[in-house]
Structure 1
Amino acid sequence: MDVVCQILITRTEDGVFKSGDLVTGTIKYFIEEPTKYETISINFHGKGNCWWTKTDSSAPGRNFGNTEDYVNQTICFYTGKSGEELSGAYEYPFQFLLPVNIPSSYKDGNCVIDYKIIVTFVKTTKREQFEAEIPVHAYVTSSIQEPISFGLQKKLFSMFANNKIGLKGELENVAVTPDATVEVPVVIGKIIGEVTAPVAMKNQHYDEEK
């Protein structure tokens, strides 16, 4: 290997970046022997890939796929001069701004969304790349007016005819950030004709999974 490269990213407190955050860090690389490079560049690339197969009983399966870029910024921080050779240790600090309206990092059997810092060393006959992945959580916005109320009725198993209860809850925040705690006040009432008489109230807490 002609060059050894480290991509050191300034980590956040919780280990992930939010949309709109500034991503900062330093590239450290060491070139063992005097080497001539045409360019050395850093690329901040966020993209999504999806693929799936559509099957039909009368025809073989058809494959579909799509790719979308969410951010693609490149900085060429070294352009080779005539006859110049590089050797030794070097550092290059960098910073990139995450766009606001981007999806979170994601991966399953049909879709991959990832964000990477890619450093490329280009010689006349060879290209070497080093990369580091950046975990991203996106903010979710909502067009629904808050708070939002909801309710349902439940028929209980009972020997008596009047065996219905009503539940009424209220969501103060419709959209929450990852790992946030959601409080849902719930009123439980017994339905008497057209009137619901409150009999209990409790708060339930739900933790979002990462």
Structure 2
Amino acid sequence: MNILILGAAGQISQMLIDRLLAETSHSLVLYGRNISRRIKISEPQRETIFDGDFSEKNKLILAMTGVDVVYLNDMNSPEVTEEIILTMKEAGVSWIIGANILGIYDEVAGAFGEWNKRMVGNTSTERHRKAADILEGSGLDYVNLRLTWLYDQEGNESYQVSQKGEPFIGAQISRQAVVRLIMGILADKEKYKNTSLGVSEPDTNWGKPSFY
């Protein structure tokens, strides 16, 4: 499988790259601004780098050539999300996994829901919601990952998922656990196809993350 990682210098992206190289035989296309200066290539026969902005359509099409799955590390911009989807269609790529945020469907109740609204703000929530709507209405095969508050903890890969329309419970999730979930999606795409998943750590039904 050939996997394009958009925003390859992001923290989750870099962890995902390491996992994919260690645990699979997939080939990786790594795309981002000044990416050649921000990450190190460890397996040049499996890793291809594209330095570029998401607005550079011709470069994006080249990066998507022969790609089976796209991972988009940030869905903050509905405009960028739409451009990426249009480019995928032009390049003949049909699968995308997008990293989004919790709360876009007002699915987080109670004290944590109120805390999250104050911290994220209406503008950011609305932008992520619009990007999710574009993704889900694209006609592509997709997974929309609605991630709770992120932190790092080596060895902690515990996660739980909720479906769109279900309450979101869980104030935090390790990046390591998110990467493990993405690995699972890549290993069984049919199981997860066309889902919007709330992603959190079990037993973290608190008023805010432990690190705040």
Bin the TM-score by the shorter chain. Answer: under 0.3
| Greater share of helix | 2
TM-score by length of 2: 0.21
TM-score by length of 1: 0.21
